[in-house]
Structure 1
Amino acid sequence: MIRSGNEAWFRVEDASAIGAARRAATLLASGMGFSETTRERMAIAVSEAASNLVKHAVEGMMLIRPHPQAVAVVEVLALDKGPGISDLGRAWRDGYSTVGTLGIGLGGITRMATAHDVYSVPGRGTVICMHFTADGRPLPASHVSGLIRPIGEESVCGDAFACFDTPEAAVAMVCDGLGHGEPAAEASRRAVKVFQEHGDLPLTSLLERLHHALRASRGAAVAVTRLDRASGRVVFAGIGNIAAWIVHPEGRQGLISLPGIAGHYSRTVREYAYVAPPHSMVVMHSDGLSSRWDITTFPGLTARSPAVMAATLLREAGTRRDDACVLVLKVTP
């Protein structure tokens, strides 16, 4: 079961944020049983990545959280709207430095991680994803990742995601509780609980259960999808304004969600079937992200990991005026 929660976001715009991010990472790792040596390596990598954001980035952000799929794994994402890295090959080299880039120490930063992925577009910014494991063993490839970010300085997010994932198939949900703050978060928690208990139902039955369970809440927009990786078949059903797309390097295909508010009113629940091409991705997001993003302006992004894809879309299309949630599923493992 993959679900949202325990996210720790940091705005990395001045030097004080470097220590805060480092302390959050080491505290999380300590609670997971990381050795002192492993914690020190992670602390150095997090400090260097945060320092680079302060020195060279624009709108630098860092996310530190338990990996949403794996046990005893810390995931760190650093994202910015800075100048980007024009030559990633050179940036991997120790000691490489060019004023105005985010290339300083990149090779050393990622070498300290158990696994990493980097995506950068000159003039658009950079996303770095690092994973640190407690025992140092390699991390299996991930087929799905999601991110949530609360509005402004809220401590809770009214959006949530959840997913059951295997190499053969995935069933996923995105929920956007009406409004924001604790009442919206409570609606999303109800949805996650129902999904966790009934995720094996046909999508229309699952969505009807979600609709019924949310009657005691302020309501939500909610959508569910089922992906069969062997055939590329995608089945989707939604109530409200959860955006969903089949995304490939040449563009995207929108999936149909019906108007309404789950828990309050909706038309008859319907599901729609599509076929996704190999090596594409299924993307679902709340209206905390604008739907105007254009995948063709991000060459090679669909070949990156789901975590980097999700972070890039959140950075590019996310709004500070609402809670935000984005979930990415790889069609081909």
Structure 2
Amino acid sequence: MATGSPLLVDCEDVAWFRDQPEAVRGAAAALGRRIGLGDQRTAELALAVAELATNMTKHAVDASVVLRVLRNQTVAGVEVLALDGGPGMADVPAALRDGMSTAGTLGIGLGAVGRLADSFDIHSQPGTGTVHLARFWPRPVHPSVVGEPVVGGITRPISGEQVCGDAWAVRPDTGTPSPTSHEETPRPHRPSPAAPDWAALTGTRSSSERTRTAFPSTDLPPRSGTSTRSIPVRAAVPGAGQGVLVMSCDGLGHGPMAAVAAQAAVQAFRTGSARTPEQAMEQVHRALRGTRGAAVAVARLEPDGRVLFCGVGNISAALVTPTARTSLLSHPGIVGHQMRQLRTYEHRLSAHGILVMHSDGLSERWKAADVAGLLPHPPAVIAAGLLRHAGTRRDDASAVIAKAAW
């Protein structure tokens, strides 16, 4: 893989809209004004959102539009994700050409969106559906956000809720040692007598039973083309060059209290000085005391392709290529309440692979073939496509994707 500084952005203020073209247009305009896009850029954002929403209302089923803020330390912009359950487009380049229409209109919508947006991407598959991504930054575009982020994700609250108890976050390794040296073996945690029991809450097996199995934390048998072998690392050492730390968090339950736990985890992760997944997990664990707790997984991606992974609770994680899915091992527990000896596992991510982490708001029964066509696309598009394919509406849901090369 190439070395250098990966493009990373924080994601905030997520709002979902279904069958509400006028509402999503107004929300986009308000969001653009609030973050300082400027009058002209805000008008262009609102026009693009209106085109996407109207197009989906006319042509798609089970369609949603997601608005959210992307930011780094210098600048903020708006990202629009539009996803639907079909019918999909057989010829995307043709659909982007001005004048192409299947509904008797001028057919300039998608082409206009592509011209207005700073970043634009479409994945569509007949019979499955379409994911659109459009990103809008203030003009002139700041050099710090030119390119495609190497990590992207998506969150969706359970039906009937406005806030989501799932969250994800990403940050670069600053190279500053954390208070706990990476030479140390993390100390085991003694669970509080009043701490909730993970097995009782989720119906999973006990810690001793789970440790004896070779299967990942989902308790499902291995699939064809799926490897479950993990290499434990007693003292994980950050590699040379700038690494990337990625966290996926599922606050226990759903609703406002789960969201409080998830946001506390994000804040601790973003502001912490940890360099390894175990150190990050320790810092998040301390931050979640006093909340209902969460399932958390943290991975560190190295420029040389190494992946260090540490997971507690039912966050599912896997390394995925077009032909294989390798599951990563998590251990039972509730971060913030009951967390035993932490273990980091080392894997290697191929140059054309991705790291996937998702909450139990997505079914575990997806295969590498289900996302193979998405792999050339940006991480946010892959996450949205996986959510559309495997997501349920019985719980908060989230997926985060990291690409290998930067």
Is the shorter-chain TM-score for this pair beyond 0.5, marking a shared fold?
Answer: yes
Q: 1:216 aligns with which of 281, 285, 290?
A: 290
How far residue 37 of structure 1 moved from its aligned partner, in angstroms, is 2.5
Q: 1:113 aligns with which of 117, 126, 129?
A: 117
How far residue 196 of structure 1 moved from its aligned partner, in angstroms, is 2.1
Equivalent residue, structure 2, for 1:204: 278
Q: 2:53 aligns with which of 50, 55, 58?
A: 50
Deviation digits for residues 197-231 of structure 1 (CA, Å, limit 9, x no counterpart):
324243223223323332311111011110002x1
In terms of fraction of residues, the more strand-rich structure is 1
Structure with more contact order per residue of length (Cα contacts < 8 Å, sep ≥ 6): 2
Q: Percent identity?
A: 45
Amino acid across the alignment from 1:159? D
Unmatched 5+ stretches in structure 1? none
Single out whichever of 202-211 and 144-153 deviates more from structure 2: 202-211
How far residue 90 of structure 1 moved from its aligned partner, in angstroms, is 1.0
Give the 3-state SS of the residue equivalent to 1:116 in structure 2: strand
TM-score, reference length from structure 1:
0.92
Q: 1:78 aligns with which of 58, 79, 82?
A: 82
Determine which structure has more spread, i.e. the larger CA radius of gyration: 2
Give the 3-state SS of the residue equivalent to 1:39 in structure 2: helix
Matched, 1:161 2:165: no
Whether the 8 Å CA contact 1:247–1:282 is kept in 2: the answer is yes
Amino acid across the alignment from 1:243? S
Deviation digits for residues 52-76 of structure 1 (CA, Å, limit 9, x no counterpart):
1111111100011112557231100
Equivalent-residue separation in structure 1 for 2:371 and 2:357 (angstroms): 18
Equivalent-residue separation in structure 1 for 2:273 and 2:168 (angstroms): 13
Equivalent-residue separation in structure 1 for 2:40 and 2:288 (angstroms): 46
Equivalent residue, structure 2, for 1:98: 102
Q: CA RMSD in A?
A: 2.0
How far residue 331 of structure 1 moved from its aligned partner, in angstroms, is 0.7
Q: 1:22 aligns with which of 22, 25, 41?
A: 25
How far residue 19 of structure 1 moved from its aligned partner, in angstroms, is 0.9
Cα distance change, pair 215–42 in 1 and its aligned pair in 2 (3 A): closer
Equivalent residue, structure 1, for 2:365: 292
Whether the 8 Å CA contact 1:81–1:126 is kept in 2: the answer is yes
Whether the 8 Å CA contact 1:162–1:195 is kept in 2: the answer is yes
Whether the 8 Å CA contact 2:10–2:70 is kept in 1: the answer is no
Q: 2:43 aligns with which of 21, 24, 40?
A: 40
Matched, 1:7 2:14: yes
Matched, 1:261 2:334: yes
Whether the 8 Å CA contact 2:12–2:70 is kept in 1: the answer is no
Matched, 1:146 2:146: no
Equivalent-residue separation in structure 1 for 2:83 and 2:376 (angstroms): 18
Single out whichever of 320-329 and 294-303 deviates more from structure 2: 294-303
TM-score, reference length from structure 2:
0.76
Q: 2:347 aligns with which of 263, 270, 274?
A: 274
Single out whichever of 217-226 and 3-12 deviates more from structure 2: 3-12
Cα distance change, pair 234–57 in 1 and its aligned pair in 2 (3 A): same
Give the 3-state SS of the residue equivalent to 1:131 in structure 2: strand
How far residue 136 of structure 1 moved from its aligned partner, in angstroms, is 4.3
Single out whichever of 206-215 and 60-69 deviates more from structure 2: 206-215
Whether the 8 Å CA contact 1:144–1:165 is kept in 2: the answer is no
How far residue 171 of structure 1 moved from its aligned partner, in angstroms, is 0.3
Whether the 8 Å CA contact 2:305–2:404 is kept in 1: the answer is yes
Q: How many residues align?
A: 326
Give the 3-state SS of the residue equivalent to 2:375 in structure 1: helix
